[in-house]
Amino acid sequence: MFSNDQIASFNELELSLYNYISRNMEKVAYMRIREIADETHVSTSTILRFCRKLNCDGFSEFKVKLKMYLEEEKKTSVKSAHHTLVDFFERTLKGDLEEKIKEAAMQINKAETVIFIGIGSSGILAEYGSRYFSSLGRFSLYIKDPHFPIHSKLRNNSVTIALSVSGENNFTVNHLNLLKQEGCNIISITNNKLSTIAKMSDLNIPYYVTEEYVDTTNITTQVPVVYIIEAIAREIYKINQ
């Protein structure tokens, strides 16, 4: 509703008006200009000037835009955690997930070096994955810098595990491209088996959950990724017993 540039342009009175509106949006959408002036102790001319800074011709247009904004906010719904888990198990466990997990475990077990990569929330899980693998006896590295030097002895027989929800993150794609040119075997865990990262991989493990966004932020559940990482690590542990 309010951009950073607009907020920065407010004077002291306009800031007090902004603070009141931000805390009472539902109420303000149905108030008259005089009522807001009385509540905020500013003049109606200050309110009109405030509206113009928001690219509105007047108070009526401001209220229309405010109501539209509130309607859009109501449309944003977030699924329950239970629903996302059921969604994952119903879509994925009926397929060949277990076979892919076993295949990944066999490839990783034969490798001398295991590297995890990812960015954002996928980067956090990549770091968790390297720690979890190491805890179960399979030492692994999380590398966030695509130019991190890797000795040729480590590159020759290595597996890179790439994590990405969309499978299209430019940073991860570029990082994978460099590692692939160095001869690394690529295993990816993505939500889309037709994505760029999936296609670059020697083995892709898709998990099929509905992507969710709040505004422009991706809030797609990462529970399936944790499940797959832990399942692979446990399978490797079983192989070596």
Instruction: Say which CATH number the domain at 67 has.
Output: 1.10.10.10
Over residues 209-230, the mean pLDDT reads 82
Domain boundary among 48, 75, 102: 75
Q: Which residues contact 22 (CB under 8 A, 6 or more apart)?
A: 2
- Report the pLDDT value the prediction gives residue 144, as an integer from 0 to 100: 81
Same domain, 26 and 132: no
Over residues 46-57, the mean pLDDT reads 94
pTM confidence score: 0.66
Domain enclosing residue 44, as ranges: 4-75
Over residues 135-147, the mean pLDDT reads 86
Same domain, 110 and 55: no
pLDDT tens readout for residues 94-128: 678 899 999 999 999 999 889 999 998 999 999 99
Same domain, 95 and 36: no
Same domain, 93 and 193: yes
Answer whether residue 64 shows pLDDT above 90: yes
Rg (CA), the chain: 26
- Report the pLDDT value the prediction gives residue 129, as an integer from 0 to 100: 97
Residue 19 parent element (H or E): helix 12-23
Same domain, 12 and 46: yes
pLDDT tens readout for residues 23-46: 999 999 999 999 999 999 999 999
